[in-house]
Amino acid sequence: MKQENINNLKITSNYDTSKVSWLKSGGIAKFFSSVKNDIDLVKLISYLRQQNIPFLVIGNFSNTLIRTNGFKGMIIKLSGNYSKIILQNDDIIVGSSVQDKNFSIFCYENSITGYEFLYTIPGTIGGNIFMNAGCFGYEISNKIKKVRVLNTKSFEISEIDCKDINFQYRKGFQDKDFIILGCILKTKFSSKENIKKKINELDILRKQNQPQKVNCCGSIFKNPSKISAWELISTSVDKSFYNGAIKLSKKHSNFFENDAYIQPDKVENFLKLIEQKVFFKHKIQLEKELQIYGD
């Protein structure tokens, strides 16, 4: 990797995404930069647009795969001001790069309930909003008042009311020309004892049903409308199914584990085989929850 500067921002070239991917798989991004504030972000996006350089804003790399041939643009990670949490009257103002687990702990420390489920999600608030992530029957969209965004075409920063976003199951901002900068969330207060109890209950469920201490990026496929993805996979694919270093988790069929570094194209081929087996058995086409980018 080598470093350059654009508008006084440090730019890293030839960024190896496998080093930060939770699955330990990923191609090379041509450029990478960490941006700490709105002014620098607007300058950078404006420059990238002018130069016709594609860009991708990444959260925790817990649910993202860059293809084998890499990403011929810039990966941007938000930090600095985007890592702040502010409790203001009846609102919580949260930056998009705040870790889900850390935010859940903040809520516990301030006796705020409703965010216990975030303790079990290995992502960021921005990534969570981007795809309306959730677990155990909870979704982030139910807690949002407004989302603060940067329009990547007009370069304007604004706040969008939750009712105007049209959140759906695992669908938030995937088809919108916005970068999520943060959000305003609802508050509901409870005792720390009750909040801690709920966190512990959900964490136990996670440990019982999801793989631990392995290279894993969370749920791979979205649940179809009337049946869960793990049921479809478990009735279509033997749990010993293995392709190189990647395999189905024996704890949960919609989680895949990776024993060592594996080329992204082998991960994609593995997913295609799963999709084919499920379609052959159930005539249902699975849709990926894993976000895949690149050439």
Please state whether the predicted TM-score (pTM) of the whole model is above 0.85.
Answer: yes
Structural domain span for residue 50: 2-80
CA distances for 16 relative to 3, 21, 68, 114, angstroms: 13, 9, 11, 37
Written as six digits, the tokens of 37 are 């504030």
131 shares its domain with 71:
no
* C-alpha to C-alpha distance for 258 and 278, rounded to whole angstroms: 21
Catalytic-role residue among 170, 236, 249, 275 = 170
One domain for residues 222 and 129: no
The total of structural domains in the chain comes to 3
pLDDT tens per residue across span 236-294: 988 777 666 678 888 888 888 887 778 899 889 989 999 999 999 999 999 998 899 99
The last residue of one of the domains, among 80, 113, 132, is 80
Q: Are 25 and 18 in contact (CB under 8 A)?
A: yes
User: Could you report the per-residue pLDDT of 93-104, keeping only the tens digit for each?
Assistant: 999 999 999 999
Q: Any catalytic annotation for residue 156? A: no
242-243 and 246-248 beta bridge pairing: antiparallel
Answer yes or no: do 195 and 220 share one domain: no
For residue range 143-162, list pLDDT tens digits in order: 999 999 999 999 999 999 99
- The strand ranges marked E within 79-223 are 85-88, 91-95, 134-135, 138-139, 144-151, 157-161, 178-186
Annotated active-site residue 170? The verdict is yes
Single out the catalytic residue among 21, 83, 141, 219. Answer: 219
Residue 280 CB partners (closer than 8 Å, separation 6+): 236
Better-scored residue on pLDDT, 23 or 57: 57
CATH of the domain at 265: 3.90.78.10
